[in-house]
């Protein structure tokens, strides 16, 4: 468990627990409705929420996704989920807790947990339009233009310093 001294009396980044699922699904829904779904048709937004609800989070955990929760004064303020140790699948922070370093703390915890021996040193994310500047601040770079899917997204990747991915194969 890691503790981060931010602007809160007490914040803890810890591994996700099954008891976190409903609160995390609510955080995701509120954040998506506020920051992402305005760019989607109503039916597409509803489909997105259905693909990322509590049942989906449960399936992701069962499939081996690794999640961490940010708990502030006993409240789940945000969470991050990694698929396969390389793809940042979920990163959501409730609006009341944004712009206080929680997303960055979640990223650092997930990154540290993923960077085990044998890790390829590359992370990917499909960032919403509003999240691109945040991911860029973490060292992610766009790998393609915005994808015009039902909910637009921006493929991005981050290559760790010293990674074999930085070596030119030529």
> pLDDT band at 5, cuts 50/70/90?
very low
Distance CA 82, CA 67 (A): 6
pLDDT digits (tens, 9 = 90+) for 25-77: 999 999 999 999 988 999 999 999 999 999 999 999 999 999 999 999 999 99
Encode pLDDT of 79-128 as tens digits. 999 999 999 999 999 999 998 999 999 999 999 999 998 899 999 999 99
CB-based contacts of 97, cutoff 8 Å, min separation 6 = 70, 72, 77, 78
Residue 9 has pLDDT above 80, yes or no: no
* In the predicted structure, residue 4 carries a pLDDT above the cut 80: no
Per-residue pLDDT band for 3 (boundaries 50, 70, 90) equals: very low
d(CA 21, CA 159): 30
> 73-89 as b/e, with b when 16 or more CB fall inside 10 Å?
eeebbbbbbbeebbbbb
Judged against a pLDDT cut of 90, whether residue 8 lies above it is answered with no
Kindly tell me the burial class for residue 105, based on how many C-beta atoms sit within 10 Å of its own C-beta (0-12, 13-18, 19 or more).
buried
């Amino acid at each position: 468990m890691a503790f981060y001294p931010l602007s809160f009396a007490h914040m803890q980044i810890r591994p996700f627990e099954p008891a976190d699922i409903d609160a995390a699904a609510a955080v995701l829904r509120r954040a998506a409705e506020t920051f992402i779904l305005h760019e989607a048709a109503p039916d597409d937004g509803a489909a997105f929420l259905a693909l990322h609800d509590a049942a989906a989070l449960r399936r992701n955990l069962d499939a081996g996704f690794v999640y961490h929760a940010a708990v502030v004064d006993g409240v789940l303020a945000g969470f991050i989920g990694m698929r396969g140790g390389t793809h940042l699948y979920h990163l959501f922070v409730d609006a009341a807790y944004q712009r206080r370093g929680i997303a960055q703390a979640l990223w650092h915890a997930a990154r540290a947990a993923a960077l085990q021996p044998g890790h390829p040193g590359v992370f990917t994310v499909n960032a919403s339009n509003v999240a691109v500047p945040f991911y860029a601040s973490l060292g992610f770079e766009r790998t393609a233009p915005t994808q015009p899917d039902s909910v637009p997204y921006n493929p991005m990747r981050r290559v760790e310093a010293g990674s074999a991915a930085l070596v030119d194969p030529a």
